[in-house]
Amino acid sequence: MSWFTFYEITGASVPTPATSQASIFINSATGQPSYKDDTGTVTSLVGAVSITGWTNSLNTSGVNATTNVSCWLASGGSTNQAACIQPKGNGPWLAQLPDGTATGGDARGVQAFDGQLVRSFASEVAQGDQSVLLGAYSRAGAMAAVAIGYGNVVNDQYGASVGGTGNISGYCAFSTGLSNVSQGQYSFSAGQGNAADAENGWIPGGLGATTRGTFGAGARASGFFVSQGDCQDRVFKFRVATSNATQATSTTNGAAASTTNQIILPDGSAFVVKGTINVREAATGDSSAWDFTAYIKRGAGAGTTAMVAACTPTLIAQDAGAATWAVAVDADTTNGGLRCRVTGQASHDLKWSWSIYSCNEVVG
């Protein structure tokens, strides 16, 4: 061993430097403070650490021979014993010390849980308050956001992504699978390479589908020709309420017609659309139903949208009291899509429901 600084100990007097008799020193062999008495016996001043309720060990054999394991094992209590390491106050729980670099990452959010050990950027952490992060190269960047897996980014409150390279930028949105995007509020995407880019939009699986920004739309595809959504199906639920005989347009959210609540075609596309219509008056019980098949296309610009052939809905059945009620399906050249309109009856409160399947969308 080598000697660092010697102090002679003589009763209760103040130690003075010395090179003999009883001494305290740093043992270079162990790195620990040690004591040498006047007989030459050396004793470490650092004993084994003992924490009540835990047994610590270092495992270097068997499957742990290459990567050794330091272990803290709950012990000393009941046969079935819980283990708890709890932050103080509103502190986060984290697996690495933040250092502002890609090694340890930026500071975590209040009461966040961050179990990620690898990142490319310092911002890839559980940055949102009460957020949860597990995996690699991911980020939970908003309040109560959850990112689990590889390369997921969740940047809106209560959003979640489980899988690989998912991107969440919608409030309460969710994605699972690989490389899916949920941008609309309350949207959902699964499968691979899909984009639920509309509020309440949903894609339950498949490959390469998009909701095209239409409120409440569902989409499905099993691949594409050139780009996402150029060979897919979509489903819609339209509604409108009337109390007069003025023609009204049905939409996916019951609001005024726009480019985000109708079946809007992209430039250079053709859609086959099938649907059923059901209307009922609660006061009288009168009802009526129709179905239809429409073929519509669009060139360059909304103004080029046109029916390939006129669409006349077919009456399925109708009560006598509903004889004047009517539906129409045609092209909306203002918004560039399919228009679904109804005509009710004065002083009759009617609720109109459309179930529509855009069963064959081809773009390009």
Which position has the token pair 């996402």?
A: 228
Report the candidate in 176, 104, 190 with the shortest Cα–Cα distance to residue 146: 176
**pTM of model > 0.75:** yes
User: What pLDDT does 42 receive?
Assistant: 76
| Dist CA 74 CA 52 (whole Å) | 9
For residue 153, give Cα distances in angstroms to 36, 104, 175, 248, 294: 58, 18, 11, 42, 40
Residue 131: both structure tokens together: 């957020």
| Dist CA 136 CA 132 (whole Å) | 13
| Dist CA 255 CA 200 (whole Å) | 15
Cα R_g (the chain), whole angstroms: 35
pLDDT tens track of the chain, all 364 residues?
444 444 444 444 434 444 455 667 666 666 667 777 777 787 776 665 578 999 999 999 999 999 999 999 999 999 999 999 999 999 999 999 999 999 999 999 999 999 999 999 999 999 999 999 999 999 999 999 999 999 999 999 999 999 999 999 999 999 999 999 999 999 999 999 999 999 999 999 999 999 999 999 999 999 999 999 999 999 999 999 999 999 999 999 999 999 999 999 999 999 999 999 999 999 999 999 999 999 999 999 999 999 999 999 999 999 999 999 999 999 999 999 999 999 999 999 999 999 999 998 999 8
Instruction: Give yes or no for a contact between 266 and 298, defined as CB atoms under 8 angstroms apart.
Output: yes
Buried b (16+ CB within 10 A) or exposed e, 42-62: eeeeeeeeeeeeeeeeeeeee
233-363 carries CATH number 2.60.40 = yes
Instruction: Give yes or no for a contact between 236 and 263, defined as CB atoms under 8 angstroms apart.
Output: yes
Strand-pair partners of 244:
none
DSSP strand pairing (218-220 vs 231-242): antiparallel
| Dist CA 22 CA 13 (whole Å) | 13
Q: What is the length of the chain?
A: 364
User: What pLDDT does 13 receive?
Assistant: 40
Predicted confidence (pLDDT) per residue in 22-78, tens digit = 667 666 666 667 777 777 787 776 665 578 999 999 999 999 999 999 999 999 999
First to last CA, the chain: 81
Q: Determine what percent of the chain is predicted with pLDDT higher than 90.
A: 85
Report the candidate in 276, 303, 309, 306 with the shortest Cα–Cα distance to residue 291: 276
Q: CB neighbours of 14 closer than 8 A, spacing ≥ 6?
A: none
Instruction: Give yes or no for a contact between 204 and 189, defined as CB atoms under 8 angstroms apart.
Output: no
Q: Which phi and psi (to 5°) does residue 291 adopt?
A: -135, 165
User: What pLDDT does 18 receive?
Assistant: 45
Q: CB neighbours of 46 closer than 8 A, spacing ≥ 6?
A: 32, 33
Residue 150 identity: Y
Q: Which phi and psi (to 5°) does residue 63 adopt?
A: -65, -15
What residue segments make up the domains of the chain, in order of their start? 7-44, 233-363
| Dist CA 165 CA 336 (whole Å) | 33
| Dist CA 332 CA 261 (whole Å) | 12
297 alpha-carbon distance from chain centroid: 35
